[in-house]
Amino acid sequence: MARKDFLDIASLTREEVEYLLEQAVPFKDLFTRSVKKVPALKGKSVLMLFYEPSTRTHSSFEVAAKRMSADVIDLDVPQSSVTKGETVKDTVDTLQAMRADYIVVRHEMSGMPLAIARQTKASVINAGDGAHAHPTQGLLDAFTFKEVFPETDGRKVLIVGDILHSRVARSTSMVMRKLGVEVAFLGPGSLVPRDGTEGMRRFTDYEEAMKWSPDVVYLLRVQMERQDAQFFPSLGEYHRVYGVTQERLERLADKGTYIMHPGPVNRGVELCHEVMDYERSLINRQVENGIAARMAVLFWLKPGTGSEPPMTTE
Ligand code: CP
């Protein structure tokens, strides 16, 4: 069933996730053609509203929208009236008057995309809100995972690092679980909360986690910008205890374990330089797949339709 907004993974059924993943396949095939454009969103406009920095999400939404022939309007937040104190509501009302069909929003406050979705007829896509959700990241991760493991049921993903502050951990763990993947977490006890990880294994010891034999080790960026306290002694200590060091990488290679990371990476913290050239690193493929996954989302949504979106937590 088509929807107006794409705000989280929690409100999607497994069938909807699988439908979106299937839709992304022909969009990815498009990348190998000489003409990489389809007219699917011709005459539609996509407004990019990023209140937080982004490289991958911002650029891949822009590429996705342009490949679908949409017009892209990118609000340069630092140069906009936001810096004069304009509220998000007033900004959205102003932009709504320009009749955008889609609004892609990233904001440091959890729930801001939902608040915007409730005040506009445009389809709102959550490009990451606070520590709440990053649903298109979850979707592209699931797409990448399924390319490697077409039968997802019973597979295992170990998510490593700063679970507490990570919207990626929430959305990616949730989409994986919807596909029947077993998910476990590894990190310092201070960064792996009990709330929200019920029913999943929690490890604080790297060697113990490896005995669980994950198919994929999914590394999270240590988000210094969201930490208001010291959760571990030092970045060097974090790397030694939880990072994929050169020695650990060799052991992962022996076992045939894949590595994923949403980016941007902190080299020397959650991983060593060599991971980027590791043959089972899916990190660059995740970026490539982000375009196809986001095209599938844009194609699925129907601006101007649907009822008021519900409030969910991931
Ligand atoms: N993975 C991700 O959200 O990266 P950006 O912050 O660069 O968009």
Q: For 204-222, what is each residue's pLDDT tens digit?
A: 999 999 999 999 999 999 8
Closest ligand 1 atom to 128 CA: 3
The answer on 201 and 116 residing in a single domain is no
Query: Does 2 map to a domain?
Result: no
Residue 197's pLDDT is what? 78
Closest ligand 1 atom to 57 CA: 8
The answer on 129 and 141 residing in a single domain is no
Query: Does 306 map to a domain?
Result: no
| Domain CATH code at residue 35 | 3.40.50.1370
Residue 201's pLDDT is what? 94
The answer on 259 and 172 residing in a single domain is yes
Number of domains in the chain: 2
Closest ligand 1 atom to 127 CA: 3
Query: Does 309 map to a domain?
Result: no
The answer on 166 and 100 residing in a single domain is no
Cα 194 to Cα 204: distance, rounded to the nearest angstrom: 12
> Could you tell me if the CB of 223 is within 6 A of ligand 1?
no
Query: Does 7 map to a domain?
Result: no
Residue 310's pLDDT is what? 61
Residue 223's pLDDT is what? 74
Query: Does 4 map to a domain?
Result: no
The answer on 140 and 106 residing in a single domain is no
Residue 311's pLDDT is what? 60
> Could you tell me if the CB of 303 is within 6 A of ligand 1?
no
In degrees and rounded to multiples of 5, residue 294 shows phi and psi of: -75, -30
Query: How much distance in Å is there from the Cα of 52 to the middle of ligand 1?
Result: 10
Closest ligand 1 atom to 59 CA: 8
Helix/strand/coil for 217: strand
The answer on 283 and 141 residing in a single domain is yes
CA geometry: angle at 249 spanning 245 and 253, to 5°?
Answer: 175
Residue 307's pLDDT is what? 57
C-alpha distances in Å from residue 25, one per residue of 6, 7, 68, 110, 259: 19, 22, 15, 30, 22
Query: Does 8 map to a domain?
Result: no
The answer on 147 and 92 residing in a single domain is no
C-alpha distances in Å from residue 137, one per residue of 32, 57, 81, 218, 300: 22, 8, 29, 13, 16
Query: Does 1 map to a domain?
Result: no
The residue segments making up the domain with residue 224 are 135-287
Query: How much distance in Å is there from the Cα of 261 to the middle of ligand 1?
Result: 10
Residue 308's pLDDT is what? 57
pLDDT-flagged residues of the chain (< 70): 224-229, 306-313
Residue 165's pLDDT is what? 87
Query: Does 3 map to a domain?
Result: no
Q: H helices then E strands: how many in the chain?
A: 10, 9
The answer on 106 and 18 residing in a single domain is yes
Which of 52, 55, 108 maximizes ligand 1 atoms within 8 Å of its Cβ, making it the mutation to test the pocket? 55
* 213 Cβ contact list (under 8 Å, min separation 6): 156, 255
* Model confidence, pTM: 0.93
Which of 57, 167, 270, 286 maximizes ligand 1 atoms within 8 Å of its Cβ, making it the mutation to test the pocket? 57
The answer on 255 and 164 residing in a single domain is yes
